[in-house]
Structure 1
Amino acid sequence: MIVEERDYRIKVGKLTEFLSHYERDGLPVQEEHLGKILGHFVSEIGELNHIVTLWGYASLDDRLARRDAMAKDPRWQAYLSATVDLVDIQTTRLLRPTSISPIR
């Protein structure tokens, strides 16, 4: 399994607006294409206004195929257009679980 960690720094004062758009318009499309979300978090201490999302894939090829299909979905394109001005910075990491990880 490959876990993708996506970290979004949302513009100050826009976190609630972003979450509203995401829950209503983004997540349903993502779960249709990517499968069930592993985790969704907001920062409480430290650098604020961050959202961290975890997705699981069988392999890098699986990830590529699923994300390519989602990128072609007009509903996803509409969601991106509605939220592009709310995101300050986005980073993505691909993680490989170790032998002691409860997520494999």
Structure 2
Amino acid sequence: MIFELRTYTAKPGRTADFLKLYEDEALALQQKHLGGLVGFYVTELGPLNQIVHLWRYASLADREQRRQTLEADPAWAVYRAHYRELDAIQMQDSKILKPASFSPV
């Protein structure tokens, strides 16, 4: 099992705009194609304006296949166009995490 930790840094004052667009147009699509949503968060302390989500996959190959399926969905292309138009995100970071042998998850 692997986890993907995605962190988006929104432009100041734009976090709510991004979250609304994501919830309205992307969340259901990602849940349909990616499955494995562990959590979706916003920062309260530390670096502000960050949106963090964590996804679980069986393997890197599983992640790749699921991402390809998502990218092939026409509704995802519509969301990506709206995402670009919104222009609320200034940076994105993605990490693949592998649990340590003693990790509870």
The verdict on a shared fold, with TM-score over 0.5 as the criterion, is: yes
TM-score range, shorter chain: over 0.9
Q: Provide the rounded CA distance (Å) in 2 between the counterparts of 1:53 and 1:24.
A: 16
Specify the code of the residue in structure 1 equivalent to 2:92: Q
Give the aligned partner of residue 96 of structure 1: 98
Deviations 1:49-70 (A, max 9, x none): 0011000000110000000110
Structure 2 counterparts to residues 37-76 of structure 1, below 5 A: 37-76=37-76
Aligned residue for 1:46, secondary structure, equals coil
Percent identity for Structure 1 against Structure 2: 44
How many angstroms does 1:83 deviate by? 1.6
Provide the rounded CA distance (Å) in 1 between the counterparts of 2:7 and 2:22.
14
TM-score normalised by length of structure 1? 0.94
Cα RMSD for the two superposed structures: 0.9
Query: Which residue does the alignment assign to 2:23?
Result: 23
Gaps of 5+ in 2: none
TM-score by length of structure 2 reads 0.93
User: Which ranges in structure 1 are unaligned for 5 or more consecutive residues?
Assistant: none
- Number of aligned residues: 103
* TM-superposed deviation, 1:95: 0.2
